[in-house]
């Protein structure tokens, strides 16, 4: 087989690159995907009851990048969707992220925006050098809110104490000194009107794009003549675990369907202190599908399984740095995406990264 470009992985990074190569360069490209579907972790499907679910947990599109929004809008229309999350604390549901409404609900207060700023300053712990996620939380919200909302949720999510995690983990959670209870404040937010899988299928709908599913690229790559490999899989696997296996956090998803139209008060409810799961998602509240039944998903973080989240510790970063040195030596391989770069990317960021990499690649061609 002859292809100028071969892409390993049919997630958003791989599909974006394939779509650009096929449509802009008018070149043939082969995508090799180990799963039985395209779309990576944004894959959605209809379950046996006919309810559209996100098979790998909830994915909500949000971005401040006009270029990413416009690019993906070529392949889908959007439902204008503003994501809202509630957190179950001390027997009550409070808005997440932390806003004026959250503080008032937690402490049965009636503070305004300026008063909440003073309240949080009083709670905050003074820390000389912020090194960990625990330091971030304590310096912003203090010990009590850290204990109620952040500490146990983070332990469940990562399996270790926040004091051992990089600052990036809790820094991603916004704290607002206003009454905006939307989970994201990005300029562009929405859900693909017909689902993510339909969007991904349209991205791949070019005769120049060939896709092999259910295939480990190592089983076939030696039989393919190609000029450029775009690799979006785990880097440690690419190098046959030369420097050991990189650590990832995985999730077990438990789906339950109920014979009622609605299960909970918000699309996602977090459980920092109760139960073994971290959160429950109700998909109909994301997709706006009308159905007399509803399907929910409980998430149980775990150490083994599909690699979802690169482990944000100093040791893991140092281990990946060894692989990164090997990656620099590659002439005809591009490493792209969350797994290949061992970096947490939101959906929009991985699309933006792929678009940028494509531009660089074509400039240097």
Cα–Cα distance between 213 and 191 in angstroms, integer? 26
**For residue 51, pLDDT beyond 70:** yes
Q: What is the 3-state secondary structure (H, E, C) of the chain?
A: CECCEEEECCCHHHHHHHHHHHHCCCCCEEEECCCCCCCHHHCEEECCCCCEEECCCCCCEEECCHHHHHHHCCCCCEECCCCEEEEEECCEEEEECECHHHHHHHHCCCCCHHHHHHHHHHHCCCCCCCCCHHHHHHHHHHHHHHHHHHHHHHHHHHCCCHHHCCCHHHHCCCECCCCCCECCCCCEEEEECCCHHHHHHHHCCCCCEEEECCCCHHHHHHHCECCEEEECCCHHHHCCCCCCCCCEEEEEEEEEEECCCCCCCCCEEECCCCCCCCEEEECHHHHCCCCCCEEEEEEEEECCCCCCEECCCHHHHHHHHHHHHHHHCCCCEEECCCCCCCCCCCHHHHHHHHHHHHHHHHHCC
Mean pLDDT across 323-341: 96
Terminal CA-CA length for the chain: 22
Burial 187-198 (b: 16+ CB within 10 A, else e): ebbbbbebbbbe
**Tokens linked to 217:** 């690229």
**Tokens linked to 168:** 């990036």
pLDDT-above-70 percentage for the chain: 100
Mean pLDDT across 86-98: 95
Lowest mean pLDDT of 203-217, 282-296, 305-319, name the range: 305-319
- For the chain, domains (ranges, CATH) are 5-81+188-245+311-363 (3.40.50.720), 85-171 (no CATH)
Mean pLDDT across 204-225: 97
**Tokens linked to 18:** 């394939």
pLDDT in tens, 114-142: 899 899 999 999 998 999 999 999 999 99
Q: Residue 237 to residues 17, 31, 165, 233, 304: CA-CA distances in angstroms?
A: 21, 18, 24, 8, 15
Q: What is the mean pLDDT of the chain?
A: 95
Cα–Cα distance between 342 and 340 in angstroms, integer? 6
pTM of the model: 0.94
Q: Between the CA atoms of 218, 224, 226 and 229, what dihedral angle is there, to the nearest 10 degrees?
A: -20
pLDDT in tens, 145-161: 999 999 999 999 999 99
Q: Residue 15 to residues 9, 43, 45, 177, 254: CA-CA distances in angstroms?
A: 8, 12, 18, 39, 28
**Given this model, what pLDDT does residue 280 score?**
98
**For residue 365, pLDDT beyond 70:** no
**For residue 228, pLDDT beyond 70:** yes
Query: Residue holding tokens 């409404």?
Result: 101
């Amino acid at each position: 087989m002859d292809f100028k470009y071969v892409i390993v992985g049919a997630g958003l990074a791989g599909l974006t690159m394939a779509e650009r190569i096929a449509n802009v360069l008018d070149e043939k490209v082969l995508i090799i995907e180990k799963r039985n579907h395209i779309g990576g972790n944004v894959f959605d499907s209809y379950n046996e009851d006919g309810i559209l679910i996100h098979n790998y947990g909830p994915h909500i599109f949000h971005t401040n990048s006009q270029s990413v929004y416009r690019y993906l809008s070529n392949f889908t229309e959007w439902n204008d969707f503003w994501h809202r999350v509630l957190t179950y604390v001390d027997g009550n549901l409070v808005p997440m992220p932390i806003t004026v409404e959250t503080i008032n609900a937690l402490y049965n207060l009636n503070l305004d925006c300026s008063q909440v700023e003073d309240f949080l300053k009083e709670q905050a712990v003074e820390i000389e050098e912020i090194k960990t996620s625990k330091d971030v939380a304590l310096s912003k919200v203090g010990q009590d809110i850290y204990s109620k909302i952040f500490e146990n949720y983070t332990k469940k999510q990562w399996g270790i104490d926040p004091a051992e995690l990089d600052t990036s983990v809790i820094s991603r959670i916004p704290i607002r000194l206003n009454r905006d209870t939307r989970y994201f404040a990005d300029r562009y937010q929405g859900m693909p009107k017909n689902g993510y899988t339909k969007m991904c299928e349209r991205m791949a709908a070019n005769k120049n794009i060939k896709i092999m599913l259910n295939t480990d690229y190592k089983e076939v790559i030696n039989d393919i003549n190609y000029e450029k490999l775009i690799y979006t899989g785990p880097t440690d696997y690419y190098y046959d675990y030369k420097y050991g296996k990189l650590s990832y956090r995985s999730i077990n998803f438990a789906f339950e369907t109920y014979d009622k139209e609605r299960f909970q008060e918000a699309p996602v409810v977090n459980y920092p202190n109760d139960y073994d799961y971290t959160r429950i998602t109700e998909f109909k509240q994301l997709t706006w599908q009308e159905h007399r039944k509803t399907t929910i998903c409980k998430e149980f973080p775990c150490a083994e399984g599909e690699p979802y989240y690169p482990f944000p510790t100093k040791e893991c970063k140092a281990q990946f740095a060894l692989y990164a040195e090997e990656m620099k030596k590659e002439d005809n391989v591009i490493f792209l995406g969350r797994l290949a770069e061992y970096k947490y990317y939101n959906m929009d960021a991985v699309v933006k990264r792929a678009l940028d990499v494509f531009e660089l690649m074509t400039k240097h061609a």
